[in-house]
């Protein structure tokens, strides 16, 4: 396992001086924001050729690869549910990603959400389907939360069906947006990822060295990481270790700098001032994954 080298908070973060690595980023804002920040100011990681992909689950990752290879399309009218850029399209080179030096993979949820054969994103549902409902009052907000958290994410089919039926009463009008919201509520189903199987499939699909970035749902005031759903973080760590994948664990660095200095008020996102610190650490980690892969003997 490759470990992260911690930066001494009394000295400036170490800047990467080599040419940028061609990189694929499969993760959320805890990976994208730091890498984007340092890439503006240094030769860190070149990640824009295949697009920016803010995603949570392995199912979303597989779907992105299929789209880049021209094997799958997602209709424009559904892309907002996937948090998918409208310009995302097949890219020359995606057949084998031979130009990619390293990929950083950050699964942020074990729960796959599927609507009409498309992997959709929990945040996409929250913003585009549930927010208009929640604005109608506290009871509507409670039903929305139960449908999403207990029904879908909690994999409780009876709660999903019961709360979904109540949610439909709050969807108003006959617009295309309203009809889509009703369809999402009726037809979206959830399933649990195979974490180790997801990493194996990513290795097969990408064919390049992979580093695992550990997702932290939230930090306690004393810096302890909170996993949601319970045990997910530990499952990702176990799967990565089982497959001997290098691991980037951000918690020691957050602890070193302090929760208040590193995180925003919600204890879930990095402060702007902390982005260069975590970004430099991610660049260093990516380089260690790449260099480590070159030193390994070729498979027989």
- In this structure, the answer to whether residues 101 and 204 fall within a common structural domain is yes
Q: Characterize the bridge pairing of strands 218-219 and 118-120.
A: unpaired
Give me the percent of the chain exceeding a pLDDT of 70.
91
**Are 56 and 142 in the same domain?**
no
pLDDT tens digits, one per residue of 205-221: 999 999 999 999 999 99
Tell me: pLDDT of 3 over 70.
no
pLDDT mean across residues, the chain: 90
Three-class SS string for 134-153? HCCCHHHHHHHHHHHHHHHH
Q: What does the alpha-carbon distance between residue 39 and residue 41 come to, in Å, rounded to a whole number?
A: 5
Same domain as 198, residue 105: yes
Q: Are residues 206 and 176 both part of a single domain?
A: no
Shared domain for 106 and 198, answered yes or no, is yes
53 and 162 both lie in a single domain: no
CA pair distance 25, 42, nearest whole angstrom = 18
Closest CA to 211 of 291, 149, 146: 291
Instruction: Kindly state whether residues 56 and 106 are assigned to the same domain.
Output: yes
- Segment 75-94 shows an average pLDDT of 92
| Assigned domain for 16 exists | no
pLDDT (tens digit per residue) in 233-267 = 999 999 999 999 999 999 999 999 999 999 999 99
Q: Which domain does 119 fall in, by range?
A: 115-191
Is position 9 within any domain? no
């Amino acid at each position: 396992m490759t470990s992260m080298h911690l930066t001494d908070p009394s000295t400036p973060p170490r800047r990467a001086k080599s040419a940028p690595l061609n990189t694929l980023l499969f993760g959320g804002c805890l990976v994208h924001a730091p890498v984007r920040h340092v890439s503006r100011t240094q030769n860190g990681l070149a990640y824009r050729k295949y697009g920016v992909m803010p995603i949570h689950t392995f199912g979303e990752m597989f779907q992105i690869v299929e789209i880049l290879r021209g094997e799958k399309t997602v209709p424009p009218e559904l892309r907002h549910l996937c948090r998918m850029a409208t310009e995302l399209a097949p890219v020359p080179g995606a057949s084998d990603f031979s130009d990619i030096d390293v990929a950083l993979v950050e699964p942020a949820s074990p729960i796959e959400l599927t609507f009409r054969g498309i992997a959709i994103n929990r945040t996409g549902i929250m913003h585009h389907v549930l927010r208009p409902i929640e604005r109608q009052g506290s009871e509507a907000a409670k039903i929305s939360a139960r449908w999403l958290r207990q029904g879908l994410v909690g994999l409780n089919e009876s709660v999903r069906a019961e709360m979904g039926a109540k949610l439909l009463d709050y969807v108003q009008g006959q617009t295309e947006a309203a009809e889509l919201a009703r369809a999402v509520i009726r037809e979206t189903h959830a399933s649990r990822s195979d974490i180790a199987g997801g990493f194996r499939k990513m290795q097969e699909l990408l064919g390049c060295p992979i580093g695992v970035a550990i997702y932290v749902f939230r930090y306690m005031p004393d810096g302890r990481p909170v996993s949601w759903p319970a045990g997910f973080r530990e499952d990702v760590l176990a799967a990565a270790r089982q497959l001997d994948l290098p691991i980037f664990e951000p918690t020691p660095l957050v602890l070193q700098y302090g929760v208040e200095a590193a995180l925003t008020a919600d204890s879930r996102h990095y402060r702007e001032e902390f982005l260069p610190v975590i970004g430099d650490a991610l660049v260093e980690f990516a380089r260690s994954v790449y260099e480590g892969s070159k030193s390994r003997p070729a498979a027989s």
